[in-house]
Amino acid sequence: MNRTTGEPAMRVRRLGRAWLGSAFDYLLFLRPRQWPILTSQLAVGIFLAPACLAAWRGLAEAGIQPFTYRTLFVAWLVWVVCLNGGTLAFNSAYDQDSEDIAYLRRPPVPPPRLALYSLFLMLFGAGTAWSVSPHFALVKAACVVLSILYSHPSARWKSIPGLDLAVNMVGYGAGTTLAGLCAGSAAFSATLGRWPVLDGSVWYLVSGFGLLFGSFYPLTQIYQIDEDRERGDRTLSSTLGTQRSLILALVLGM
């Protein structure tokens, strides 16, 4: 790591530990550097939800009410912090990585209760998601199950080539977009008891994001192929190798 990228990060860590002590390491493993990416993707689903589009076009009388702001904030908190952050922390608790990992350089030693803490965070988010809408909560609950199956040693789907890619495409890619559509429908419409109106073009959007995140996934594994092989994880990239992983990423992204 060069001085340009290393020193600011170290200053932030020193400041964080001065304020929060060892608890700051739990926050680090939530990978806040990835939050803007998931926020942007969730926002795409929200603003392309038919109820939201109707409100902006003046075809509905939803308006921008306090309920709308609260619903959108809770949806963001539940999905980006509790689910995405909790998923990454849960995975780190079992991987015990010592080298750079996605969105976290020079990771500290994972805290002893990181797995329990991250699991609680995901489950807390699953319960809170019901205040957004039942449909948003169902999508959230399904992704929590996928997160546990992906990382927990009893299942460890991340060590099954192809299945690890499918989880990423369904959970991160399609799931985040679908969750945004559900949250947008809940925030801008009073029809909380029904599924949001999803036409063919919307499902193309959900599928497209699934493929897009599928194309990202091999790239997040290439740099840690050696560590995965030493740990015994037969991830997609460690099985295919660097060149074929790059080809797969290009094909999924086209």
pLDDT tens-digit profile of 102-150?
778 888 889 989 999 999 999 999 999 999 999 999 999 999 999 999 9
249: Cβ contacts below 8 Å, ≥ 6 apart:
215, 216, 217, 218, 219
pLDDT confidence tier of residue 167, bands split at 50, 70 and 90: very high
Structure tokens at 73: 């904030």
Residue 190: pLDDT above 60?
no
Q: Which tokens sit at 85?
A: 């952050």
Dump pLDDT digits (tens) for 76-86.
Answer: 999 999 999 99
DSSP at 112: T
Distance CA 49, CA 70 (A): 17
How far is residue 192's CA from residue 186's CA, in Å, rounded to a whole number? Answer: 6
DSSP lists the bridge partners of residue 101 as 104
| DSSP code for 152 | S
More confidently predicted of 178 and 10: 178
Q: Are residues 22 and 111 in contact, defined by beta-carbon separation less than 8 angstroms?
A: yes
